[in-house]
Structure formats: structure tokens, C-alpha cells
Amino acid sequence: MLWSITYNNNQYIAVGNSGTIFSSIDNGITWESQNSATNQDLRIIIYGDMYVILGANGGILLSNDGITWEPYSIPITSQILIGGTYANGQYIGVGTAGTIAILNNYEWNIQTFGIKNLNAIVINN
């Protein structure tokens, strides 16, 4: 199952279950599988000044080109980041157990509020 898609620089990138990443450079006519180096579910892809994929068990992937992915882990092992956005130079992910993860200059600030799931975030500049 695919969960999220983004578009930037004439490239679509879609992410999904079991580490699935597909990309298309011809307006979605053909899709190529990318190596994610993970089997974790990938729930959302965000583009700001780079691509950031958020997923299960603190699994995060970073890429400058949307082809080569680097794993990045944050210390949340049981939460799933479900929604996210990019605003004001920061990537923000939200998820299960009220988790909010904010990436600023490659440093993550993690807060868990112990409430029900947060599924989406919207920031109005």
C-alpha cells in the first residue's frame, strides 16, 4: 500500500509499506523502484530543502536527490509518524501517542504527549 506522494523538480516520489519507494520523472507514466534499505512502513514524504520520509519505529530516510536515501533514526521505537509538513526551515512529523518530532539543522526534538494519535499537521505562514 502506498501512503504518500510528493512532487518536486519534475520528479514524483511515492512511499508505502515495507520500505516501498517509487519515483517517476515522466509525469507518472512509468515508475521506478528505489532502494530504501529498510523494511519499515514509510508513511509520509515531505520536500523542503531535501526529501524527508517518516515512518514506523522512528525510521526516517533523508535524500537530496530523491534517489539515494540515507537512514536516520530517532529515539521513538514504538510510535509511527503518520503526518508531516515543512515550514520555516523545519520538518515536523506527528504520529501515534501524540508524538511530535521536529527536525531543525539535522537535530530532532521529540515530544510525546500521551494522547491519542495525531494524524496530520497544517501550518499557515
Q: Please report whether residue 61 resides in a domain.
A: yes
Q: Please report whether residue 66 resides in a domain.
A: yes
Residues of the chain with pLDDT under 70: 77, 124-125
CA atoms within 13 A on the CB side of 8: 17
Alpha carbon 28 to its chain centroid, in Å, reads 20
Give me the helices (H) in 7-80, please.
Answer: none
Average pLDDT of the chain, as a whole number? 88
Q: Please report whether residue 18 resides in a domain.
A: yes
Q: What is the pLDDT of residue 125?
A: 63
Structural domain total, the chain:
1
Q: Where in the sequence is the domain holding 62, given as residue range(s)?
A: 2-83
Q: CATH code at 57?
A: 2.40.10
Q: What is the pLDDT of residue 77?
A: 62
pTM summary value = 0.87
Q: What is the pLDDT of residue 12?
A: 97
Q: Please report whether residue 7 resides in a domain.
A: yes
Using CA atoms, how far apart are residues 12 and 75, in angstroms rounded to an integer?
29
Q: Please report whether residue 99 resides in a domain.
A: no
